[in-house]
A and B are shown apart, each in its own frame.
Chain A
Amino acid sequence: MLKKRIIPCLDVNNGRVVKGVNFINLIDAGDPVEQAIIYNEEGADELCFLDITASSDNRSTLFDVVKKTAENCFIPLTVGGGVRTLDDISTLLHSGADKISINTTAVDNRSFVSSAANKFGSSTIVIAVDAKKDKNNRWKVFTHGGRNETNIDAIDYCMEVAELGAGEILLTSMDKDGTKSGFDNELLNKITTKISIPVIASGGVGTLEHMYEGVVEGGASALLAASIFHFGEYRIQDVKRYLADKKIPVRI
């Protein structure tokens, strides 16, 4: 049976792992390569690096982090943050990334999704969606690391990029991110019941039960978390044992 994936996410800023609350107030959480190696040994199913530096002059730091990680961790590695061109994707893949997460560029230019999927294969292209509920109770897509609001409906957008060839969706709830109050399972469920590509749940996990709810209520194929792992509240195996006890298929 296909296993639900547990993915530690490392937000990287200028070569260091950082973690923010609701996308701001960054706290230093260590060296990315060292952390990646630990997660790899502890049984992470994949790793995710999101470069939040955003300024292009520091990109080489990211390539170096990806390269060193890929040399030491033989599990899939998703990398994103500031991906704007097909060349960016190519460079990251050659540094050792397996999947590339695209956010703002896909919102600005939908055809980029299909050209990236055609060139590198759908399974290489992850579309990262940052979503937040507006006052009319509709989820809107945000870009530029959550700074810019768009008028795009998050559910429609997910359906559209799935149609365009995205291999997977990394769905982050901005309302939930950093709050430790659980994933936005309502939003997750609305999306996972409408599209046929895997969805990674992100933003808000604080307890083991939240992980379980993300799978059962949200319908997620994979669960992404940052701070609960970085600050040692839970180890990867704690999550897996908890889920396995509740009959969720995981790789132990």
Chain B
Amino acid sequence: MMKLVIINYGSGNLHSVHKSFETVNQSLGNPYEILVSSSANEISQSDKIVLPGVGAFGECKNALMSYDGLLTSLEDVVINKKIPFMGICVGMQLLADQSSEFEINEGLKWIPGEVVKLDSNKNFPIPHMGWNEIEFIDHPLFSDCSQKSDFYFVHSYYFKLQSKDNLLATTKYPNELTAAVIKDNIFGTQFHPEKSHSNGMKVIKNFLNWRP
């Protein structure tokens, strides 16, 4: 049986992420054993990785670094062994070079770009919170999804990519923002698939089926 590890580094919404992946996994006939873990050993033996994330960038980065060997095994399986990886919300933002949330914090530098604050505007409250439409580039990770379908977002910062090559989906609030990123085996979403009802379940299913 294949192993999927949801990285547990103290992020608040693990329960929702775990439950949504379990539900989709069951609908596919349980191809994966799903583990919620912070163990470097489990990570190094996994076939797919999910990095959730809620809260501030710096806190998340520090939490990720506080587990012995976690980052080293994560980089080994994702960068060297190229196993499929999915980052959600701050878990996606962590892939950037750096973030300016509160103070400058370095990211994992897996995808070039930086995390910056959304432009403030009276008619567009921040956080960008709620259901918004996305437009995506044709890709197996958005298989069965319709263009302009709604996903749940909640964020005040966004991933400003250096290269369009890594842009997989966008949303508008009011300017165009990164909604999903891609680089080889690395996938990330600014929206929360685990909170996006049936559309989110499709993306989770596509990730479980994904063979980059």
Contact = CB atoms under 8 A, between A and B. Distances in A.
A96 B125 contact: no
A40 B56 contact: no
A122 B54 contact: no
Contact of A222 (B130, B173, B196, B200): B130
A71 B124 CA distance: 32
Contact of A123 (B16, B124, B154, B201): B154
Contacts of A193: 122
A94 interface: yes
Interface string B169-201: 000110000000000000000001011110011
Nearest to A222: B130
- Using C-beta atoms within 8 Å of the partner chain, give the interface range for chain B: 35 or more
Nearest to A71: B19
Contacts of A98: 13, 16, 195
A71 B21 CA distance: 11
Contacts of A71: 19
A222 to B, nearest CB: 7
B129 A75 contact: no
Interface of B: 12-16, 19-20, 23, 54-56, 59, 120, 122, 124-133, 150, 152, 154-156, 172-173, 192, 194-197, 200-201
B54 A121 contact: yes
Contacts of A120: 12, 54-55
Contacts of B122: 193, 196
16 contacts: A1-B133, A1-B172, A3-B150, A4-B130, A71-B19, A74-B19, A74-B201, A76-B152, A76-B154, A96-B19, A98-B16, A118-B56, A119-B59, A121-B12, A196-B125, A221-B130
Contacts of A121: 12, 54-56
A2 B177 CA distance: 12
Interface residues of A, number: 37
A94 B15 contact: yes
B61 to A, nearest CB: 14
B55 A96 contact: no
Contacts of A198: 125, 127, 129-130
A4 B150 CA distance: 12
A123 B12 contact: no
A177 interface: no
A167 B131 contact: no
A184 to B, nearest CB: 19
Contact of A2 (B19, B128, B192): B128
Contacts of A196: 120, 122, 125-126
B173 A2 contact: yes
